């Protein structure tokens, strides 16, 4: 998977000066395959999750002479012109990314998003394109970005806000970084013409409460625990008690009414308790 990504980046219309892959203690031949492609590999020696990987990558970026860092997960692929289309905006924006579409249906967004100035969640690329066409800049949707899926971030911003919080492990580390950037006054935008394809998850953004909102259900216990813990931690920091309460209500509703599962509800409540009180490391019980 990551070798496919490395080849896609190397084949782009604009190629980064260096490609760094952070290896989270893989047990196959990934490292050797990447080095055969001339990719620089940072071996963690342990599974630090996506958050730990991005933290290590950003630390390496700060130790380099680079002005920009292009961040992405290993399971997505940028379009050949993705970086080329993002680069013209880095003088005006600190945190700029592409439209993230489903790799099986490029007319659908991989992750549902809420457009600025409204409460409606959209899933079609056409809706984002329409929002961009109505903006003051024909190709942008400002203050919206899907982090860590082909986002281009300036050195000045990383120096200002630091690196990703490793203790979050997975799920929510990207949102926390975006919210931290926003709090610091970062200029944020999506360049709609730029594309990044990512596998879609059917249960991500499952409608609930009579279609008034959505819930990110995952069949993975590890991902779900981290999602609940990290969401509550993030909301407590950036949205306050009402934000936390709203998420708790959504979670209870989902596992009592939308997709009844008392075992999952108990896990959710424990995870949210851990997130509220900053109890990290308990996700390790769900590691394989």
- For 77-107, how does the pLDDT look when each residue is reduced to its tens digit (9 = 90+)? 999 999 999 999 999 999 999 999 999 999 9
The CATH number given to whatever domain includes residue 60 is: 3.90.550.60
The single-letter DSSP state of residue 188 is E
Name 190's bridge partners.
97, 141
Q: What's the structural domain count of the chain?
A: 2
Picking from 110, 107, 69, 79, the residue whose alpha carbon sits closest to that of residue 194 is 79
* Segment 34-55, tens digit of pLDDT: 898 889 999 988 899 999 999 9
Angle at 263 between CA 207 and CA 224, to 5 degrees: 55
Q: Same domain for 88 and 190?
A: yes
Is residue 90 within 8 Å of 68, Cβ to Cβ? yes
Ranges of residues in the chain with a pLDDT under 50 are: none
Q: Are residues 140 and 32 part of one domain?
A: yes
Q: Which domain holds residue 271?
A: 206-286
Mark whether 185 and 211 lie in a shared domain: no
């Amino acid at each position: 998977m990551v070798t496919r990504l490395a080849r896609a980046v190397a084949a782009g219309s604009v190629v980064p000066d260096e490609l760094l892959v952070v290896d989270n203690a893989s047990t196959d031949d990934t490292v050797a395959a990447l080095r055969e492609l001339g990719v620089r590999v940072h071996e963690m020696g342990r599974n630090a999750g996506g958050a730990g990987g991005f933290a290590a990558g950003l630390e390496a970026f700060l130790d380099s002479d680079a002005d920009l860092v292009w961040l992405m997960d290993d399971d997505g692929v940028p379009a050949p012109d993705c970086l080329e289309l993002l680069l013209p905006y880095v003088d005006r924006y600190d945190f700029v990314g592409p439209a993230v579409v489903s790799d099986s249906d490029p007319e659908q967004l991989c992750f549902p998003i809420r457009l600025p100035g409204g409460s409606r969640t959209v899933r079609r690329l056409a809706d984002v394109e329409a929002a961009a066409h109505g903006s003051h800049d024909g190709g942008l949707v400002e203050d919206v970005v899907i982090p860590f899926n082909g986002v281009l971030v300036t050195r000045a911003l990383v120096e200002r806000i630091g690196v990703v919080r490793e203790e979050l492990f997975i799920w929510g580390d990207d949102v926390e970084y975006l919210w931290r950037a926003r709090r610091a006054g970062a200029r944020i935008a999506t360049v709609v013409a730029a594309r990044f394809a990512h596998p879609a998850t059917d249960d991500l953004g499952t409608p609930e409460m009579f279609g008034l909102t959505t819930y990110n259900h995952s069949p993975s216990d590890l991902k779900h625990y981290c999602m609940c813990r990290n969401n509550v931690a993030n909301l407590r920091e950036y949205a306050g008690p009402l934000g936390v309460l709203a998420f708790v209500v959504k979670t209870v509703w989902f596992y009592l009414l939308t997709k009844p599962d008392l075992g999952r509800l108990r896990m959710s409540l424990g995870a949210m308790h851990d997130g509220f009180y900053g109890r990290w490391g308990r996700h390790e019980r769900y590691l394989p």
